[in-house]
């Protein structure tokens, strides 16, 4: 850090204009995963919602969580009510070729409008699965809802699901189980609205106290 | 998707060799944030731990969460016990110039070894703050612990904290509050051990139902 280091205090954060604060705080985690959550309501209406909070909670069983705002109108709330009612949903990586359409799913469409129709993203209806997958997505998952965990600090809901099935291109899965997200065209996000592609620096060996890390692959 | 699409079933995931499954499931969220969590134990020993699960939970108040394994030996567990005892910690973005040292903090050092000493990463001790910041990091935060939320599905712990102070270079903060993570040199991760730099595709305008998204900035 140099002499141009800003110290942004708790008071300064409180006093920020609302939109400024939302942009700023959303940048603090660093780069984020970007996924489309696909659901269906009991009457058959498909819903699609972009989320930037899908997080690994465990590998055995395979658990992913994401953060939902219960009070919000629009796609996010429809997604939460759909997956709560049906108990199932899909998570689909956002790719370079369709990140604009993915972003557009965050618009507040009325409940009777499917984000698939509104954005032109095409669903796949797979036999044996209830919610829609996103055809353009290189890595698609089906999950069953494991838990809805209320976050007392601000009323959000942590949606925790177990991955039951994964669909991906054969060339993306490495011999050691590693998924090649760069080859998949998966994008990453910053803040509320920044979209980035990733370029590999290295894979690093399992760290041990008395060995320097080395590049693998 | 084409004819080379793999369908990986729940049974196939159960039958995977453990390391293969860990690699595979860790790739499913997409690209991840990479941060160093800095803590101090009540006796004064500094601790540093890389995490790939820092997630935005809300902007007002500013809340970030990350997932900790309570049962794990090594740095992760020391971090959890330190921040529980002291109620404070720092989160520091992992940057391109020191991602190897950041990765090395995941080695299972004995409790009496500070990962700062072991990796050569230098702490900053700021007046008025108890835990150490990471000098090399372009974006550094101080947090107070708000909640420890047990995840019944697998025994992990969601550590939820409120950001009280942010230290960052002046040139990283945009006029609308957006943080320039690319300029900061912040890196992103995939799987357990993949490190990537990000290249901007676009920032997109706030999505509305009847307007096409456009690039901003």
pLDDT tens readout for residues A102-127: 999 999 898 889 999 999 999 999 99
Q: What is the nearest CA distance from B82 to chain A, expressed in angstroms?
A: 21
Chain centroid offset of residue A120 CA: 20
Which of chain A's residues have a Cβ under 8 Å away from the Cβ of B23? 174, 176-179
User: What does the DSSP 8-state code read for residue B15?
Assistant: H
Contact A31 B186 (CB under 8 A): yes
On average, the pLDDT of chain A sits at 94
Q: Which residues of B touch A145 (CB under 8 A)?
A: none
Q: A185: nearest CA in chain B?
A: B30
DSSP structure class, residue B53: -
List the single residue in B113, B153, B213 with the smallest CB-CB distance to A103: B213
Which residue would you say has higher pLDDT here, A78 or B134? Answer: B134
Chain-centre distance for alpha carbon B65? 9
Task: Name chain B contacts of A166, Cβ cutoff 8 Å.
Answer: 6-8, 13, 28
Segment 136-175 of chain B within 8 Å of chain A by CB: 138-141, 146-147, 149, 151-154, 156, 158, 160, 162-171, 173-174
Q: Can you give the pLDDT at residue B110?
A: 87
Half-sphere exposure of A89 (CA within 13 A, CB side): 29
Query: For chains A and B, what is the number of CB pairs under 8 angstroms?
Result: 397
- What pLDDT is recorded for position B78? 87
Predicted confidence at residue B111, as pLDDT, reads 82
Instruction: Say yes or no for a CB contact (<8 Å) between B153 and A146.
Output: yes
pLDDT in tens, A59-87: 999 999 999 986 554 555 789 999 999 99
Task: Test B182 with A200 for CB contact under 8 angstroms.
Answer: no
Contact A30, A188 (CB under 8 A): no
Partner A contacted by B109 (CB < 8 A): yes
| Nearest-angstrom CA–CA distance, A142 and A146 | 13
Give contacts of A113 with chain B, Cβ < 8 Å: 209
Question: Which among A53, A113, A163 has CB closest to B28?
Answer: A163
Are A166 and B28 a contacting pair at CB < 8 A? Answer: yes
Q: What is the pLDDT of residues B39-84, one digit of tens each?
A: 999 999 999 999 999 999 999 999 999 999 865 545 457 899 999 9
pLDDT of residue B72: 56
Our CA-based measurement puts residue B203 at a distance from the nearest CA of chain A, in whole angstroms, of 4
- pLDDT above 90: percentage of residues in chain A: 88
Q: Identify which of B24, B35, B60 has the shortest CB distance to residue A177.
A: B24
Please tell me which residue of chain B has the smallest CA distance to A113: B209
Strands (E), B19-156: 32-33, 35-40, 46-51, 55-59, 62-68, 88-93, 123-124, 133-134, 139-150
Residue A2's pLDDT is 52
Contacts of B4 in chain A (CB under 8 A): 169-171
Q: What is the band of A217 on the pLDDT scale with cuts at 50, 70, 90?
A: confident
Interface contact B56-A32, CB threshold 8 A: yes
d(CA A176, CA B24): 8
Length of chain B: 217
Given the cut 0.85, state whether the ipTM is greater than it.
Answer: yes
Residue B156 has its nearest CB partner, among A58, A141, A156, at A58
């Amino acid at each position: 850090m140099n002499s141009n280091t800003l110290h942004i205090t708790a008071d300064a954060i409180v006093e920020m204009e609302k939109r400024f604060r939302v942009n700023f705080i959303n940048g603090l985690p660093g780069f984020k995963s970007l996924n489309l959550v696909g659901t269906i309501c009991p009457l058959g209406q498909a819903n699609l919602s972009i989320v930037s909070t899908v997080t690994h909670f465990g590998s055995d069983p395979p658990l992913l969580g994401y953060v939902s705002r219960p009070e919000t109108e629009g796609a996010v709330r429809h997604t939460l009510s759909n997956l709560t009612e049906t108990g199932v949903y899909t998570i689909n990586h956002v790719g370079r070729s369709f990140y604009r359409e993915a972003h557009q799913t965050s618009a507040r469409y009325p409940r009777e409008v499917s984000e698939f129709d509104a954005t032109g993203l095409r669903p796949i209806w797979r036999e044996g699965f209830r919610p829609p997958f996103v055809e353009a997505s290189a890595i698609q998952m089906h999950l069953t809802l494991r838990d809805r965990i209320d976050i007392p600090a601000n009323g959000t809901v942590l949606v925790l699901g177990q991955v039951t099935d994964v669909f991906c291109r054969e060339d993306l899965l490495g011999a050691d189980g590693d998924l090649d997200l760069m080859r998949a065209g998966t994008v990453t996000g910053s803040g509320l609205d920044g979209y980035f592609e990733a370029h590999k620096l290295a894979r690093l060996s399992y760290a041990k106290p008395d060995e320097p890390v080395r590049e693998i692959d």
